[in-house]
Amino acid sequence: MNAKYLSILVLFAGLFTFGCANKSTQKETKQAENISKETQKQTKKEKQTMVLISTSMGDMKAVLYNETPAHRDNFIKLAKEGYFNGLLFHRVIDGFMVQGGDPDSKNAPKGKQLGQGGPSYTIPAEFNQSLIHKKGALAAARMGDNVNPQKASSGSQFYITQGKSYSAAELQNMEMRMGKKLNQTQRDAYTSVGGVPFLDFEYTVFGEVIEGLDVIDKIAKAQKDRSDRPLEDIKMNITIIEEK
């Protein structure tokens, strides 16, 4: 891969800072956990796949969406193969997201540039108006639109959103900047649990963290180098704990 994944995220990182307030992430995490309880109820009805993401900073339990079958099945396949085990969260930005899934990160020496590794395939985008970048969203990284106009996803790299909560006025301001309107699902989520609205329908969201949202905050706050790689490696192990 010759281009870095999440190139649009780099550009939007500056935009993301507009209107940011120093709100407690504890309140947002609690709100997100309450909403996730509803997801868990739905999960029991639909028998969605659950995964455990174990890290040195704690564990996260996530559900994979049936609405994104190609991404779901690929993630399950890689997890069963042990593909993710020992890989790093190699890019973390507090107030934004944490990223991992680069196979080149396994046993990577300090200072090594990461973010370009992955299998030799991509996955077609699977956008859904109800699957958005609220806090805890599990989404696929990808190369930028200039080389990837179809917005196809990386075969392995993913990120988990942290983001922030917004006021109605901030969302209106964002709509003006983006030149598009948010739907009610987006408004409800981003004024309560928070997230990263401007990534919606640009990157495929294929799951969400339903337990351990505080772990996202811990990882995002890790000390890091100029490339946003944590100074102390944060390794992951991903296992399937319940499958459809």
Mean pLDDT by 10 residues, the chain (244 residues): 46 36 44 50 70 98 98 98 98 98 97 95 97 98 97 98 96 94 96 96 98 98 97 98 78
Whether 32 is in a domain gets the answer no
DSSP letter at 65 equals -
Whether 24 is in a domain gets the answer no
Query: What tokens appear for 226 in the block?
Result: 């100029």
Q: How far apart are CA 142 and CA 162, in angstroms?
A: 18
pLDDT number for residue 242: 82
Q: Domain range holding 73? A: 7-18+47-106+124-144+154-242
Whether the model clears a pTM of 0.75, i.e. scores above it, the answer is yes
Place of tokens 């006025």: 169
The enclosing domain of 60 has a CATH number of: 2.40.100.10
Report strand pairing: 49-55 vs 153-154. unpaired
User: How many domains is the chain built from?
Assistant: 1
Whether 135 is in a domain gets the answer yes
Whether 93 is in a domain gets the answer yes
Whether 41 is in a domain gets the answer no
